[in-house]
Structure 1
Amino acid sequence: MYKRIVVKIGTKVLSRENGHINESVLENIVGQISDLKKSGVEIVLITSGAVASGRGLFKLAGKIETVTDKQVFAAIGQVKLMEIYAKLFEKRNYLCAQILVTKEDFRDRGHYHNMRRCFLNLLRDGVVPIVNENDVVAIKELVFTDNDELAGLIAAQLEADALIILTSVDGVLDGSPSNPSSKTIPEIDFKNITSFQRYVVQEKTDVGRGGMTTKFAIAKKLVSSGITVHIARGTRKNVLRNIVTNRAVGTKFVPLKKTSSVKRRLAYSEGLTAGALVVNKRAGDMLISKEHSMSLLPVGITKIEGDFKKGDVIEIRDICNKKIGFGISAYDSDKIKEMVGKKGGRPVVHYDYMFIE
């Protein structure tokens, strides 16, 4: 049985066709969360639906929505969404807390650790953290692909046992969701990844940003760091209870070996880096080799991109400028420029603070 889980609810699961929140669906999910909490499970809830809720409450004169329009919808809809959650949890004698985040919060070390401490304190005190992207202040260059990405980041940040993605389909299907003969794949092991890729169909909903391809990519990152991922229909009866108690529901992505919390964070560093290091062929080959556990030494570096500080997350690229992983820099960029290509230096990125894809 899982002890700490992150649950993500998709927009289409919690909203009706008219954009209003489907309170009966939320009541069912909140009831399951409350029951699981009573049995000792720690739960963080990632919710979509603020923009969709805002659309249902506030009508614009024009038909074309701008980015600002969506921010207005989010600002209005988030209040209604949290009002419903608060009411439903209060009925069951639980408090919930609103946490609105942006991608920048995962990019900045101070923000990242402050946020983690807040989550852990809320869980310790029995409060249910409810998380959504802060659409009102997020800038175009730093928005999450969707809330699936946000859920993956938080699952890695909190070293969760599992991420459960509640969606409008039964799981990963062996064909198109529009084909009634398509069947749910009960279990996916990324050791056999090639046999499943052809079943991933990118079909985004009208009200959400996420698709199955995104979910698949997030699952691959999480299972590589030892976190189990489940995708299941959110309106299914007892879906959370069944998953947590290891009854077959939806699609389960089998976790690989456990990795450190640092490496889990690094696995989700796409778009959050402060700079990059380009390495020579020998260093690149050694880093991606499964037979060696190698740190990155100055002699293997050929080029530095960006201005960054000691402790910043940086991208590591091969001789062809192709990304091979991420790491935490042991020095600032000016110091590394003095060390490039030199033998005998200390690691610029230590193996313990490196994630190779």
Structure 2
Amino acid sequence: MSTKYKRIIIKIGSNVITKADGLPNNERIAHLVQQIAEVKKSGIEVILVSSGAVASGRSLITVADRCDAVAARQLLASIGQVKLINTYAHLFEKVDILCSQVLVTKEDFRDRLHYLNIKNCLEILLQHQVIPIVNENDVVSVTELMFTDNDELAGLIASMLNAQALIILTNVDGIYNGNPQLETSKIIHEVNGKGVDLSAFVSQRRSQFGRGGMITKTHMAQKVAQLGITVHIANGTRDGILTNILSGDMPHTRFIPQKNASGRKKWIAHSETSATGVVELNDGAKQALTSDKATSLLPIGISAINTDFKKGDIIKLIDSHGSLIGLGRAEYSADKAREKMGQKNQKPLVHYDYLYLQ
């Protein structure tokens, strides 16, 4: 297995390990565990982000028709998470590997201290040769508290742990330049640069059992690649997929990484949903920030403070049309920013080291 990767995140989608009847595909899970064991024994650290708790729950209990959708999901996820982790633990035990369960919610990533606590937990597991199996805690994550899907969570974990690669296993061979069911459609083997618009090629349709569609995957993959991490989107239902991706023998879509970003910028890049303040910039500031020169956001470039924030909060930076330019950590409060707005020779509201541009 020839690869330069030292640490990878493997995200397994619901459709990969769920049969057509909605029940878990235990043979597929066992085959993936065998491959993960091979990858780990070759010296690569592996963090697994696995969907499938709801499917596992469905194999154990029938939900009453009167249950609403959120309650049914909580019931199935709560029961199924135990079954899923036991399945993994049993299979990894057979190959002399210890795994652990790490359940998280979006709230855990909003605060830099919580974020670092999760990071430290995952690092100590890896140091002790344990494979962390990360999943969203669907029992408490409902509606606006949820990640878009586990792709978003996997991207966040990849950024947090400075992984070299993120492998997203789905039930198609990659991103196609048309409808995957048409013979004329071909796999896009490489995507290079954040400016590539793939939305024209990608189906809006969501997977049968998962929450996320291919558009979510492509947006997240481009963001993660922009932060310096290679992203592979491949077909997890193919035999030997992981070992073949790592040895370069399997057709799939690879997002080429851009310049590596700092740990702080990686955290800020994934903080859009937890941003409190909204700051509108004038055209001069927008031009300065989006140029190739490293620049902090100075008060002279601010045209309006649209929403209040405190020192240390993540804030959205928008242009005069309301389009998102980037995200940053506020060096002082909205009240102070209003006082300094439009003035020269003032301390930056967002320092370059804490600034992430779209």
- Give the TM-score category using the shorter length: over 0.9
Counterpart Cα distance in 2 of 1:60 and 1:180: 40
Partner secondary structure for residue 13 of structure 1: coil
Structure 2 equivalent of residue 54 of structure 1: 57
Structure 2 equivalent of residue 115 of structure 1: 118
Partner secondary structure for residue 284 of structure 2: helix
Which moves more between the two structures, 330-339 or 116-125? Answer: 330-339
For the 8 Å contact 1:273–1:314, the answer to whether it is kept is: yes
Task: Note the alpha carbon deviations across 1:48-97, whole angstroms, 9 max, x for none.
Answer: 11112222321123177421111111101111101100101111111111
Counterpart Cα distance in 2 of 1:339 and 1:307: 15
CA-CA distance at 1:134 after TM superposition: 0.8
Counterpart Cα distance in 1 of 2:233 and 2:180: 14
Taking only the aligned residue pairs, the percentage that are identical comes to 49
Aligned residue pairs, count: 355
For the 8 Å contact 2:167–2:232, the answer to whether it is kept is: yes
For the 8 Å contact 1:242–1:249, the answer to whether it is kept is: no
Counterpart Cα distance in 1 of 2:229 and 2:256: 8
Counterpart Cα distance in 1 of 2:173 and 2:35: 18
> Is it true that 1:14 corresponds to 2:7 in the alignment?
no
Partner secondary structure for residue 151 of structure 2: helix
Structure 1 equivalent of residue 156 of structure 2: 153
Partner secondary structure for residue 304 of structure 2: strand
Structure 2 equivalent of residue 96 of structure 1: 99
Out of 226, 229, 242, the residue aligned to residue 227 of structure 1 is: 229
Task: Note the alpha carbon deviations across 1:224-279, whole angstroms, 9 max, x for none.
Answer: 11111101110212211122233343111111222222222222222121222222
TM-score by length of 1: 0.94
Counterpart Cα distance in 1 of 2:249 and 2:44: 16
Which moves more between the two structures, 111-120 or 201-210? Answer: 201-210
Task: Note the alpha carbon deviations across 1:142-172, whole angstroms, 9 max, x for none.
Answer: 2111111111111111111011000101111
Q: After the TM superposition, which residues 1-357 of structure 1 pair with which residues of structure 2 at under 5 Å, given as runs?
A: 1=3, 2-62=5-65, 65-190=68-193, 193-194=196-197, 196-290=198-292, 292-357=293-358
Task: Note the alpha carbon deviations across 1:187-230, whole angstroms, 9 max, x for none.
Answer: 22236725x54321222122111111111101110111111110
Partner secondary structure for residue 136 of structure 1: coil
Aligned pair in 2 of structure 1 residues 181, 318: CA closer, same or farther (>3 Å)? closer
Which moves more between the two structures, 100-109 or 260-269? Answer: 260-269
Which moves more between the two structures, 243-252 or 155-164? Answer: 243-252
Which amino acid letter does the alignment assign opposite residue 288 of structure 2?
Answer: M
CA-CA distance at 1:335 after TM superposition: 3.0
CA-CA distance at 1:124 after TM superposition: 1.0
Mind listing any 5+ residue stretches in structure 1 that lack a counterpart?
A: none
Which amino acid letter does the alignment assign opposite residue 231 of structure 2?
Answer: V
Aligned pair in 2 of structure 1 residues 296, 133: CA closer, same or farther (>3 Å)? same
Counterpart Cα distance in 2 of 1:328 and 1:247: 42
Runs (4 or more) in structure 1 with deviation over 4 Å come to none
Which amino acid letter does the alignment assign opposite residue 169 of structure 1?
Answer: V
Which moves more between the two structures, 245-254 or 80-89? Answer: 245-254
For the 8 Å contact 2:194–2:222, the answer to whether it is kept is: no
Which moves more between the two structures, 124-133 or 264-273? Answer: 264-273
Counterpart Cα distance in 1 of 2:337 and 2:117: 29
CA-CA distance at 1:311 after TM superposition: 2.4
Which amino acid letter does the alignment assign opposite residue 132 of structure 1?
Answer: N
Counterpart Cα distance in 2 of 1:305 and 1:45: 40
User: What value does the CA root-mean-square deviation take over the aligned residues?
Assistant: 1.8
For the 8 Å contact 2:194–2:223, the answer to whether it is kept is: no
Counterpart Cα distance in 2 of 1:345 and 1:238: 58
Counterpart Cα distance in 2 of 1:215 and 1:62: 32
Which amino acid letter does the alignment assign opposite residue 254 of structure 1?
Answer: I
Mind listing any 5+ residue stretches in structure 2 that lack a counterpart?
A: none
For the 8 Å contact 1:153–1:268, the answer to whether it is kept is: yes
TM-score by length of 2: 0.94
Counterpart Cα distance in 1 of 2:138 and 2:213: 19
Counterpart Cα distance in 2 of 1:299 and 1:181: 53
For the 8 Å contact 1:20–1:57, the answer to whether it is kept is: no
Aligned pair in 2 of structure 1 residues 247, 262: CA closer, same or farther (>3 Å)? farther
